[in-house]
């Protein structure tokens, strides 16, 4: 989607409706956007058409935290959306579908569970908060939520063919590079004629298994999206030619 168009549209709606109410410490849009950008970076997929990131974002708060921003929730959400769209546009990241953001309430005992219940949003037109007019230009880290970090722990994984001529074939690995294709010396040898001799490979980077397309003729797909390289997560499905492979952690 055209993120720049999203920014312009929302900004035009916001700029004529200012709100003089102060924003509580820790809830400046730039602080929230810094956290959301970490999620975008963590979830991005490198495709043949550019870098794809999620289009729906939420920010979990406790009931007490929400009470402190309840009267400015709608304009604050609108401002965060503008800043988020600007940051994604700067990096030329693309999304599938309309970009959205909202606050959600989580249980006080939960630290990382994304809540399913969305907070009510006012129906009136979104407002721009005047004490945040220049906030997007000075990104600050939101100190209430810990930075997302990839655990560089030892991960033993298995890839198993679940669809195609080689259904049932599997390969267990940890830190070693895994080559996938028709070539006989590959780690996962496939007989599918639509698969390249070296079609794709998996390597370990910063504690994660990364799937790479090896410039294959028919492309490599992760969860039905054509990729160049992407972090693997448990339950992901990899499609090479007419073969579907499932990735799982052990």
The mean predicted confidence, pLDDT, of the chain is 77
pLDDT over threshold 50, residue 16: no
Q: What is the largest CA-CA distance in the chain?
A: 69
Instruction: Determine the average pLDDT of the residues in 125-142.
Output: 46
**Quick one: pLDDT at residue 136?**
55
Instruction: Determine the average pLDDT of the residues in 104-110.
Output: 62
Instruction: Determine the average pLDDT of the residues in 42-55.
Output: 81
pLDDT over threshold 60, residue 131: no
Instruction: Determine the average pLDDT of the residues in 106-131.
Output: 43
Alpha-carbon gap, residue 232 to 243, rounded angstroms? 17
Q: Please report which confidence band the pLDDT of residue 21 belongs to, taking 50, 70 and 90 as the band edges.
A: low
C-alpha distances in Å from residue 63, one per residue of 69, 70, 103:
10, 10, 11
Helices (H), the chain: 3-14, 29-43, 63-69, 73-90
**Quick one: pLDDT at residue 169?**
95
**Quick one: pLDDT at residue 164?**
95
Percent of the chain with pLDDT over 90: 29
pLDDT over threshold 60, residue 140: no
Torsion 39-40-41-43 (CA) sign: positive
Identify which has the larger pLDDT, 222 or 10. Answer: 222
Q: Per DSSP, what are the bridge partners of residue 46?
A: 51, 229
**Which of 17-26, 106-115, 153-162, 199-208 holds the top average pLDDT?**
199-208
Phi/psi for 192 (5° steps) reads -60, 120
How do beta strands 220-222 and 237-240 pair? Answer: antiparallel
Query: pLDDT tens digit string along 177-217?
Result: 999 999 999 999 999 999 999 999 999 887 889 999 998 98
**Quick one: pLDDT at residue 154?**
62
pLDDT over threshold 60, residue 125: no
Phi/psi for 101 (5° steps) reads -150, 140
Q: Which run of H or E residues covers position 28?
A: none
Alpha-carbon gap, residue 135 to 58, rounded angstroms? 20
Distance of CA 242 to the CA centre of its chain: 27
Buried residues in 144-173 as b, exposed as e (16+ CB within 10 A): bbeeeeeeeeebebebbbeebebeebebeb
Alpha-carbon gap, residue 248 to 240, rounded angstroms? 17
C-alpha distances in Å from residue 25, one per residue of 55, 144, 224:
27, 10, 42
C-alpha distances in Å from residue 65, one per residue of 27, 32, 188, 228:
10, 14, 50, 41
Contact (Cβ atoms closer than 8 angstroms) between residue 190 and residue 165: yes
Identify which has the larger pLDDT, 103 or 169. Answer: 169
């Amino acid at each position: 989607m055209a993120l720049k168009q999203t920014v312009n549209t929302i900004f035009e709606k916001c700029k004529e409706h200012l709100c003089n109410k102060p924003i509580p410490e820790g809830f400046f849009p730039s602080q929230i956007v810094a956290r959301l950008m970490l999620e975008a970076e963590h979830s991005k997929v490198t495709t043949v058409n550019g870098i794809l990131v999620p289009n729906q974002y939420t920010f979990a708060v406790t009931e007490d935290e929400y009470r402190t921003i309840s009267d400015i929730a709608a304009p604050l959400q609108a401002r965060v959306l503008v800043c988020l769209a600007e940051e994604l546009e700067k990096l030329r990241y693309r999304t599938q579908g309309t970009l959205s953001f909202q606050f959600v309430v989580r249980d006080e005992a939960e630290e990382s569970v994304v809540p399913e219940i969305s907070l009510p949003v006012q129906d009136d037109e979104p407002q721009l908060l005047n004490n945040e007019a220049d906030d997007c230009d000075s990104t600050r880290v939101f100190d209430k939520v810990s930075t997302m970090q990839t655990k560089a722990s030892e991960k033993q994984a298995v890839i198993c063919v679940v669809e195609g001529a080689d259904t049932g074939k599997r390969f267990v690995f940890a830190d070693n590079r895994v080559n996938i294709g028709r070539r006989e010396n590959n780690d996962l040898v496939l007989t599918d004629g639509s698969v390249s001799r070296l079609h794709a490979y998996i390597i370990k980077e910063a504690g994660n298994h990364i799937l790479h397309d090896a410039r294959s003729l028919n492309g490599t797909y992760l969860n039905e999206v054509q990729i160049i390289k992407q972090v693997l997560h448990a339950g992901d499905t990899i499609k090479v030619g007419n073969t579907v492979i499932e990735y799982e952690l052990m």
